[in-house]
Structures are given as C-alpha cells and as structure tokens.
Chain A
Amino acid sequence: MKINDVILQTVTKIVVFIILTFGVELFLSGHYNPGGGFIGGLVLSSAFVLLYLVFDIETVHKGIPFDFKKVAAFGVLLAVGTGLGSVLFGASFLTQTASYFNLPVFGATELSTVMLFEAGVALTVVGVVVTIILSISEDV
C-alpha cells in the first residue's frame, strides 16, 4: 500500500505523538482512573496502525525496527513472569504488591508489581494487533 498524501502524512506525524502520549497516560493512570493495560495497549497499537496506513510498511519499519511478534511474546512472558515472581517470594501465584518510592521528578510515587503485569498486557496487545494488521497487509 502506498499512499502519497503530504497533508495526511504531516498531520499523522503530529497526531501519532498525541495518540502515543495519550496511550501512555491511559496506561499509567489505570490504577486510579479509567485506563490500564488493555486500553493503553489498544491506543498505542492504533497509533502504530495509523502510521502503517499513512506511510508504507518499509518506511515505518526503518523508524520502528521491532518485530512485533517478539513484542507480543515478551509481553506474555512479562505477564506470566510477574505471576511466577510472587511464587519465588513464597506468596501464591500472581500476588501483587505495591509500595511508595521517592523519585526525583515525580515525588512520592506508588510503584507496584501490577504495573509490570499491566505492562505485559499492554505489550501483548500492541504486539498482537500490529502483527495481525501487518500480516494481512503484507500478504498481497
């Protein structure tokens, strides 16, 4: 698919960053406000899909040289791995914990293992959605 549309491409370049930021924000805020791994992942992947639609696959691939299958696999690994991690500490599978840390810029921030789990979910969603779309469009 090759679309040559300067306006669309220019707008996309800006919009993608807005979508990406929104996706990350949704992902991070999930614990207290609407959002979370699924939604964040879906928003992020829609940004990538937009990129692929507007530019051609090769161009995007140069900019984002990930194999999205591996991203998805890593996500699954992370999600299952956090579950196993709690087993190592003697808790039952998938027990989550949280505590507060003083970070330089953010101040007192709550960091929890749910975050890792959700990150796994988000990565899987991104990887799978992009893989599906790419597989179909590459196969012509």
Chain B
Amino acid sequence: MLAITIAIFIPFLAALLVPFIYKRVQSRSIGWFVMSVPLALFIYLASFIPAVAGGKTYIHTIKWIDSAGINFTTYLDGLSMIFGLLITGVGSLVILYSIYYLSEREALGRFYVYLLMFMGSMLGVILSDNIMVLYVFWELTSISSFLLIAFWYHRKKSRYGAQKSMLITVSGGVGMLAGFIMLYTMTGSYSVREIIETIGQYTNESLFLPAMLLVLLGAFTKSAQFPFHIWLPDAMEAPTPVSAYLHSATMVKAGIYLVARFTPVFGGEAVWFYTVTGVGIFTLFWGSVNAVRQTDLKALLAYSTISQLGLIMSLFGLGSAALNEGYSADSVIYTQATFAALFHLINHSTFKGALFMVVGIVDHQVGTRDIRRLGGLMTLMPVTFTIAVIGSFSMAGLPPFNGFLSKEMFFESVLNVRNLDIFAMGPLMGSLLPVVAWVASVLTFVYSMIIVFQTFLGKHQPDRLDRKAFEAPVGMLIAPSILALFVVGIFFFPNVVGTYLLGPAMTAVYPPFEGAEGLVPHIAAWHGFNAPIMMTIGVIAVGALLYIYLRYWRGIYSLAPMRWNLDSMYNGLLTQTEKTSSFLTRTYMTGYLRDYLVYIFVFFILTVGGGLLWTGGFSIDLSNDAPMTISEYIIIFVMMGASIAIIFAKSRMTAILLNGVLGYSIAILFVVFRAPDLALTQIIVETVTTALFLLCFYFLPEWSKEKSTRSLKVFKGIIAISVGTVVTVLALVVQGNKMFESISVYFENAYELAGGKNIVNTILGDFRAFDTMLEVVVLFIAGIGVFTLIKLKAGKGDEDVED
C-alpha cells in the first residue's frame, strides 16, 4: 500500500506549507488547517481496522539504498495500528485544544511546524519495517521534542529541560543504533519481520545479549524508565498541549512500541524478562513515590506518567514469559500480561491526555498550577471538575472507568507470575512483584486523589490566584470531554477494543501463538471475588487512609535517602564533562593557524612517510619515462626557479607575477601533455585569478617581511622539505608500480556510449556527470559565500546574538 507510505510524509508536507499559510493568516485559525491533517489520517487509518482485525497486514517497499539493504518499507499490522490511531487521534484532539489554549501572540506557525514534524516522525517510527529507517525517525522525534520543549526558549528552564531530554534520549538512541547494527551483523537483514523469522538461529551468538541490552537502552531512555526518567519532569516546561501529546500519549510510548515490536526477537530470553519487568516495576514504584510529594500539578502528572509507563513496561516483561515457555495451552495465560499492557496503553493515553488538558485549563484560567494555592474550584469550573474526576478515578483504578479494567488485569498478571518456575523464580521474588505492584497502586490512588481534591475541593483562595476563576471556553473543553467519553465508553464496551485493536496486535507480538485459544480474552468488569478485586479493595481502603493522613507522613520525603537525587548526579556529570572537554580542547587548540597546519603536516609525514619506511615499499622504476625535449627542460626549470623565488619575493606584486608564471607554464605543460581542454581552462582561470589577486591587493596592505626567529624558519623549512620529499617519493613509488590496468580504456568508447568525441568532455558531462553537477553546486556556494561575505555586515547592536 503506497498510501500508507505517503501517510508518513503528509504531516511533513503540511509542515512545509504551514509557514506560508501562517504568513497570510496570522491567527489561531491556522490550527484548523493543521488539525485536518491528523484527523484525515485518523479516518484513513481507521478504515483499515476491519481488514487488520481480520488478520491482514499491509506492506509496501520503496527502494532506497538497495545495495546496503536499506529500503523504505512500511508495514501496517495490529501493533502499528494501535499506535497509529493514538498518534493521529490524540494528535487531532491536542491540536483542537491548542487552538484555544495558545494565545495568538505566540509563534503559532513555528509551534505547528514542530508538532506536524513530530507527528510525521512518530508515524515513521511505528510504520517502518526497516530498522535503519526506524532509527532515523526515532531521532527525529527526539529532535522535534527538543524543539517543542524549548518552544519558550527565552526561559532558562525550558532550554535546560530541552537539552536534558535531548541528551538522554539521543544517547539512548545512539545505543539503540549500535544494537541495530549488531542485529544486522548477526542476521544480515535490516527488516524487523525478517529478523523475527530468523532470530532463532542466532540466540547463542555473542552479540545477541549486547544487542538486546542496547535496544532496551533506547527504549528505556525514550520511555523515561528508571534511572533515565529524570528528563520527563523537566520536559514539562513545554506548552501543555505538547506535554499532553508528546510526553504522555505518544512519544514516551515509542519506547513501549520498541519493546513490543522486539518482544518476538528477544522475548524468549530470561535476561529480557528480568530487565524489562524489573526496570518497569521499579519505575512504577519510584514514579508513584515521587508523584505524591509534588506540589506542581504538571510535575505530579509527569511522575505519574513515569509510573504508568513503568507499569506498561513491566507488563510487557511479564508477557514475554509466554515466548520462553513456547506455545502450549498452559503458556497462553502469560500472554495476558501483554494484552493488559496494550489495553492499559490505550487507557492511559485517554485518561492522562484528559488530565493534562484539565491541568492546562486550570493553569490557563487561574494562572497557577500550584496545589497549595488552588482549591474549591468545583463550583466555579464544574465541567473541568467532572473531567478531572473521570480521569483521576480511572488512573486510580476505580470503576466505572477503563483504568479499573486494565488495573485488574495488571494485578492478575502479576499474580500469575508466581506460578512461573522457568526462570528459577524463587518464592521471594514471586511474591515481591505483587507486593511492590500493590504498594505502587496505593500511592497511585493517593496522588490521583490529590489532583481532584486539592484542586477542586477544599477552601477557595481567590486572593492567592492570579486571575478570577471561570469555566473555560467551550472550545477548550471539547477535546478533554471526548477523551473522558472514551474513558467511560471503554469501560462499558471493552471488548470492542479487545477484538478490533488488541487482538490483531497480540498476533503481531506473539507470531507463534497466532490463532491460539485464549490469546484474546474476553474482558469483563466483574470476575467474582477473586484476588485482584481484593487487591483493589485494599488499594482503596489503604489509599483513602493514607490520603486523609497525608500531612502526617509527608515528612518522610525530607529524610536523607529521599533527597539523594539523580538530577544532581546528571548536572554534576554534565558540568564535569564540559570542564574536561574544554580543558582537553584548550591544550591543542592554540588559535594559531600555523599550529593546526603543523599537526596536519606532521601527521602526514609520520603516517605516509613512516608507512613507506616501515613497509619498505620503495621500488622506483624510471624505465618507462617519456622522452623530453630541450624546451620542456626549460619550462620545468623555469617553474622550479619561479616557485622558489616566491618565498624570497620582496613585494607581493613580484610574488603574484611569479605565481602567474607558474600558472601559464602549467598551461604550456598541458599542451605538451596533449590536454587541450586543460590548457584552455588553465589560461583563463589563471588570468581571472591574477585579476582577482590584483583587485584584492588594491585594498590589502603591502606584505611585510616575515619577522620570525631563525629557529622558526628552520623548523618551517624542515617541515616543508619533508612534506615535499614524502610527496615526491610516494608519487615515484606509485608510478613505478603498476598494480592494475588503467580503467581509462572504458572511456575511449565515448562515441558509442555517450555520443561525444571529446573524451574529457563526455566524462564531465555524461560518465561522471554527478561530479560535475556537484562541482557546479560548490562553485555556486563559493560565489554566494563571496557575495555574502562582502554584502552582509553586522549592524551595530547585532553583535551579541548569543547570550
């Protein structure tokens, strides 16, 4: 399907158009144009749902770098369908919301260009089958996220947050690239589908484990898993629509996508199971612990996102157990974790997106997100309050919201693990998982309640707010309301989602289980009084108690181990790296051009000259030399004399004339060498160059005698003579050893091959036209460079562009 490939590029094309439209329409209505893009893509993708649910997959290849195995292959299956719908669906809603959220004074054009760029790259990540293409789009999402976080670049914190997220996600991405290359070295293919098919033969390779860990590094940094989660809270400096879109619903889920996509590749390994589950469950715990102590609503949501991502991640880890077991009726039960993960992925996007928008509305309406200043907004902003309740209660895992269903499934999966004996799961480890999961859920419950009760209930403090509180305009409420509707709707009709979206995705994650009984379970809200429901009741009871007595136990956050902080480690590392690298750079970057040239020449002498000495590659054969006439001797000796005289020239005029002598003599030599084209070109170029030199000399000072010490002159002389000698010897050696036949005979068929009789000209215009084309471009760049150098002058006050 070519159309799916085009779908990736439509956002990029739209991003190209935005600046032009924005120039004409400088108002928020540009948002409607931008919104039409993801909406159209959403509808288009949705039209494939029935076919994909029926087990169909779509694949399309555009040849790119075929010889290197890198092609533009798009692949639409159940897994990419879920993510594609999330990206375009949440994208449309976020843009709708941003139309009302962002003031018209903001640089809306720039904002939407970045947002569309992000959307395109994200679609590229999830639709690419080729891992190199996937990597390119992966880094593009990091870059567009950087640009969006730094949208208010005049703020120091925005720049800091942008840099932090960039550094962490991109270094993870580079690690992932290394992992991909290792995968390629093992399997010989860049296609995920081919790798999945053949990976079974390579699990014992020594590169297998490093490849797995590096791919996981990419996933963990992107999805803000412990200890790389520290970038996400700082990324909250971005405008709220961006936080809702990139940093909760889509980009941070790219890591999840990667884990899901590579589960069939690595999932059978114990290391994968332990790493993904362990990191995920600890992130779940750590995020929830930190979320409770936040006073900024957005920071709270950031930590809660970290925590929820950890939950999804751990579920994928648990689900991979099924692949290790191999296909059997018993092992199907472990796939339920993955099913829960995919389900929670959708649910999280709906309720967290809604919550972010709610926080944005509160911030927009009253001017603060600090829960210590908020309170009692329920009666003033009833609609916002309702949405907040729906979102928070769903996050806390309460019925009748979709979070309840996936939370129940999460508990069930965690409990199932106790029956696992394959990974030498001791009784301690087996019971530790459910306990940690339960504690984290209690804390989740607590911070969900904080969002609702401390913002909307309690005492209203109008004097501590920047603005008087009103309900938000209708336009701003539409998007979160739609998300809230999904939150409730999915609870009542979960099996629609299960059959049409989750089912096909399950087959993508578990190819060997295709069509297995129980792979796509029936989701029900009520299972009777079993362990998960007891756990939920416990969560509510203990959570409520903890919330009520929050102020009595909050003190533990000021205890020493809680203050031990990854952020300060990151900052310390950053400053240390900067210091060390600038120290290292200072030692050799002296600022003298001569020093740099000396480095180059000495390196050349040592490697080339030394190489010649070391290998003993001298064999000079002069027998093939062409005969010479007297006039040729004269030209050559004139040239030698002229060149040496340049060094001793008293005035620059003499020097330039001597250079002219060299140039014209070379033109004569070209005639001798039977190269008429060259002779012509050389004569004209020499003329124009000399004219240029003279033109510039009109303005430049007369050259003074070089005042340098004797030893410096000797040093320069030694370097110069050594370089000259090495070049001469090397050239003679090359001429004396003919190792290959010349390829030039090929070009002598110029008339048959290229229809021209001037061989040089056919090489330039036909055989190697690419060189000529690029050369023309270089020439043009030089011309433009000269023009700008002369015309572009910094006006006064323009000099301090950087602060």
Contacts and interface: CB of A to CB of B under 8 A. Distances in A.
Consider the complex of A and B and state whether they touch directly, i.e. have CB atoms less than 8 Å apart.
Answer: yes
28 contacts: A31-B758, A31-B765, A32-B756, A36-B677, A38-B681, A38-B764, A42-B684, A43-B684, A46-B687, A53-B691, A69-B783, A72-B779, A72-B780, A72-B783, A76-B776, A76-B780, A80-B777, A83-B770, A94-B773, A112-B755, A117-B772, A121-B776, A125-B776, A128-B783, A131-B787, A132-B782, A132-B783, A133-B688
A36 B696 contact: no
Interface string A3-42: 0000000000000000000000010001111111111001
B779 A128 contact: yes
A60 B758 CA distance: 35
Given A36-B758, A76-B776, A133-B692, A128 B765 contact: no
Contacts of B610: none
B758 A30 contact: yes
A15 to B, nearest CB: 14
B754 interface: yes
Contact of B769 (A26, A42, A94, A98): A94
Closest 5 CB pairs of A and B: A128-B783, A34-B676, A42-B684, A31-B756, A32-B757
A66 to B, nearest CB: 14
Nearest to A26: B680
Contacts of A34: 676-677, 680, 758
Given A42-B688, A121-B772, A114 B758 contact: no
Interface of B: 676-677, 680-681, 684-685, 687-688, 691-692, 695-696, 754-758, 760-762, 764-766, 769-770, 772-773, 776-777, 779-780, 782-784, 786-787, 790-791
Given A39-B677, A43-B684, A124-B780, A136 B692 contact: yes
A30 B766 CA distance: 13
Most chain B Cβ neighbours within 10 Å, of A31, A45, A49, A127 = A31
Most chain A Cβ neighbours within 10 Å, of B696, B758, B760, B770 = B758
Interface of A: 26, 30-39, 42-43, 45-46, 49, 53, 69, 72-73, 75-76, 79-80, 83, 93-94, 96, 98, 110, 112, 114, 117-118, 120-121, 124-125, 127-129, 131-133, 135-139
Contacts of A42: 681, 684-685, 688
Given A38-B681, A42-B684, A135-B790, A30 B761 contact: yes
Contacts of B756: 31-32, 114
A125 B696 contact: no
A57 to B, nearest CB: 13
A90 B772 CA distance: 22
* B contacts with A: majority SS: helix
A93 B766 contact: no
Given A31-B758, A136-B692, 20 more contacts: A30-B758, A30-B765, A31-B755, A36-B765, A39-B684, A46-B687, A69-B783, A72-B784, A76-B776, A79-B776, A114-B756, A114-B766, A117-B765, A117-B772, A124-B780, A128-B780, A129-B688, A132-B692, A135-B791, A139-B791
B769 to A, nearest CB: 4
Contact of B787 (A69, A96, A120): A69
B769 A83 contact: yes
Nearest to A23: B684
Contacts of B783: 69, 72, 127-129, 131-132
Most chain A Cβ neighbours within 10 Å, of B684, B755, B760, B776 = B776
A118 B765 contact: yes
A46 B790 contact: no
Contacts of A137: 695
